[in-house]
Amino acid sequence: MASTNQSPFYIQAEKKFLLAQNNEEKLQYLEEMIRECPKHKSAEKMLANLKTRYIKLKEKIERTRRVSKGASKKGIKKEELQVAIVGKTLSGKSSLLSALTNAKPKISDSMFATTQSQIGMMNFSGVNIQMIEVPAIESEYYDKGLVHTADLILILVDSIEQINEIKKKLGNTNNKTLIVFNKIDLLNTNEKRRLEATLKSHKLNFVMISAKTGENFSELKEKIFSGFGKLRVFTKEPGKKKSEKPVILESNSTVKDVAEKILKGFSKNVMETRIWGPSSKFPGQKVGLTHLLKDLDVVEFKTR
Ligand SMILES: Nc1nc2c(ncn2[C@@H]2O[C@H](COP(=O)(O)OP(=O)(O)OP(=O)(O)O)[C@@H](O)[C@H]2O)c(=O)[nH]1
Ligand SMILES: [Mg+2]
């Protein structure tokens, strides 16, 4: 570019371009450079080059804009097991997310503190469960799309009335749900007993917790996992210990499904399968590929 005689204005613009902090600024100075670029014949190539750079940069900026806009909506990478925490403001969504996962959302006693979905990871017996706090259901930031793709919706409430209110707002969904009644540290033994009786009488799948004290968290985690309706199956090779992390499978899975998943399509290489755990008649029972599995089974494959 130096070969063409440039005006001081052009040189100035180019300097600013080179010092620009971000793409938006670069674009602005590139535009200035185009304006200041000499329009005579010998500079034609250079002008064309500047214009190409301008268009490319503009496209790049628009691309990243689209991506980051999407990220706040549905750009959250969905893990195998995903839970959405849904509830009214101040029900304790951030408190729960923060107590169960590595996330550090803002916990506050002023309303609508969470305006963007917050993500955390919870490990439960070797299974990673992605948990998402969705902004309060009655707020403009509530993200319906995110909720409807979750494997399980935690309906977090601190009063009985909120249950139907939230269910109504959720509308008809195919999602599995679990009612989580929070703040039971504020109730005495009698009040807890009455609350439990009421929830039972409505035949709800529920758990009563305190996000503050951690009361009943182990029951909560169990219910979250069973809420997915999935199986954890450990695998092993003959003479070795079982895998540390289980394979996650749909509830009606067979030995063949595990084999396909871990052998990546090479289940035909399985010569013999033995099974330990809930679905076996006795430890080490030999089974065929159509054998139906149960949660926490251990499957051993002898392959060729
Ligand atoms: N006593 C008690 N207070 C709780 C419990 N969980 C949350 N809180 C309190 O309730 C208030 C709201 O908690 P958050 O976790 O910020 O509620 P949120 O649902 O995330 O609220 P928004 O994001 O603003 O919609 C805070 O003052 C918390 O300390 C609980 O189990 N027991
Ligand atoms: Mg919050």
pLDDT over 80 at 265, yes or no: no
Give pLDDT, residue 102.
93
Q: Which ligand is nearest to the CA of 113?
A: 1
Ligand 2 geometric centre to CA of 115 (Å): 8
Residue 185 Cα distances to 58, 154, 215, angstroms: 55, 19, 8
Ligand 1 geometric centre to CA of 67 (Å): 32
**For 75-89, 161-175, 180-194, which range has the lowest pLDDT when averaged over its residues?**
75-89
Give pLDDT, residue 236.
92
Whether 82-228 and 230-303 share one fold: the answer is: no
Nearest CA to ligand 1 atom 3: 183
| Domain boundaries along the sequence of the chain | 8-73, 82-228, 230-303
Rounded average pLDDT over 260-272: 84
| Total-model pTM | 0.72
pLDDT over 50 at 70, yes or no: no
| Ligand 1 contacts CB of residue 216 (under 6 A) | no
Rounded average pLDDT over 27-37: 92
Instruction: Output the CA angle 104-127-80, nearest 5 degrees.
Output: 85
Task: Give the fold, CATH level 3, of 230-303.
Answer: Ubiquitin-like (UB roll) (3.10.20)
Instruction: Output the CA angle 34-39-41, nearest 5 degrees.
Output: 130
pLDDT over 60 at 72, yes or no: no
Ligand 2 geometric centre to CA of 155 (Å): 14
Nearest CA to ligand 1 atom 14: 92
User: Percent of the chain scored above 70 by pLDDT?
Assistant: 95
Residue 82's pLDDT band, with cuts at 50, 70 and 90, is very high
For residues 136 and 127, is the Cβ–Cβ distance under 8 A?
Answer: no
Joined tokens for residue 71: 């990220």
User: Percent of the chain scored above 90 by pLDDT?
Assistant: 72
pLDDT digits (tens, 9 = 90+) for 14-23: 998 988 888 8
Residue 71's pLDDT band, with cuts at 50, 70 and 90, is very low
Ligand 1 geometric centre to CA of 8 (Å): 60
Nearest CA to ligand 1 atom 7: 92
Residue 270 bridge partners (DSSP): 303
Mean pLDDT of the chain: 90
| Ligand 1 contacts CB of residue 187 (under 6 A) | no
Nearest CA to ligand 1 atom 1: 183
Nearest CA to ligand 1 atom 23: 114
Residue 298's pLDDT band, with cuts at 50, 70 and 90, is very high
Assign domain 82-228 to its CATH architecture. 3-Layer(aba) Sandwich (3.40)
Q: How many CA atoms lie within 13 A of 75 on its CB side?
A: 11
**Starting at the edge strand that comes first in sequence, how are the strands of the sheet with 285-287 ordered?**
247-250, 230-236, 298-303, 270-276, 285-287
pLDDT over 60 at 3, yes or no: no
Ligand 1 geometric centre to CA of 113 (Å): 10
Helices (H) and strands (E) in the chain, counts: 9, 11
Which of 86, 88, 89, 94 most suits a substitution to test ligand 1, by most atoms within 8 Å of the C-beta? Answer: 94
Nearest CA to ligand 1 atom 12: 90
pLDDT over 50 at 73, yes or no: no
Ligand 2 geometric centre to CA of 25 (Å): 35
> DSSP readout, 122-179?
EEETTEEEEEEEPP-TTSTT--HHHHHH-SEEEEEESSTHHHHHHHHHH-S---EEEE
Q: Which ligand is nearest to the CA of 156?
A: 1
| Ligand 1 contacts CB of residue 280 (under 6 A) | no
pLDDT over 90 at 64, yes or no: no
What is the torsion angle, in degrees rounded to the nearest 10, for the CA atoms of residue 223, residue 224, residue 228 and residue 232?
-80
Q: Which ligand is nearest to the CA of 86?
A: 1
Nearest CA to ligand 1 atom 8: 92
Ligand 2 geometric centre to CA of 188 (Å): 26
Ligand 2 geometric centre to CA of 79 (Å): 21
